[in-house]
Amino acid sequence: MKKRTRKCRKPAGVKVPAVVVEPGQIEGETRAVDLVAAYVRGDVEQIAACGLQGDELARAHMWQMLNGMLSDAVLADPDFDMRRRAVMPPAGVAWPATPMSEDVAALVWGLAGDGGAGPWLRMSAEDRATAYAISVAARGIAVWGPDRLLTHLARTRTAVSRP
């Protein structure tokens, strides 16, 4: 028997609210894309200009965008491996990744006694954003190459920079 489907329609007179995009969201997401592109191009001045700035909303959206771009780059990798860390930390900073081997599990238990002030949490928000941006650039270059990554970032910037 053939399945019947019916198109759902909005009842007459019902107004659907418009999606409101805050200026801080546009600023933060655009700044995140610009920061990664600056790392790919090696543009030191642009890197300095795109730091974790703006109001709380802009910083939160920048952080969220960096996190999403890193997830996209990691999942696009044909050699995806859960044992490989997604974030490439600065020298001297290490933190656990999943799944955990016995030595990593021991490290987790060791860090649990530090009051939550592990190496990642001791980094400033700016340093964490930098680690994410560099990781997005490195992972993206490995997956797509610099030119295709810059093309992808340009399309992403176009999408996030308009209300």
The answer to whether position 134 is within a domain reads yes
Identify whether 113 is part of a domain: yes
pLDDT at 149: 94
Please report whether residue 36 resides in a domain.
yes
* Inside any domain, residue 11: no
**Helix-helix angle 23-41:146-160, to 10 degrees:** 170
Residue 57 lies in a domain: yes
DSSP code, position 6: -
Range of the domain at 91: 23-160
Q: How many domains does the chain have?
A: 1
Question: Highest mean pLDDT: which of 7-16, 52-61, 121-130, 144-153?
Answer: 144-153
* pLDDT tens column, 33-79: 999 999 999 888 898 888 877 788 888 889 889 988 988 888 888 88
Residue 52 domain-assigned?
Answer: yes
- Domain membership of residue 49 (yes or no) is yes
Q: Note whether residue 1 is domain-resident.
A: no
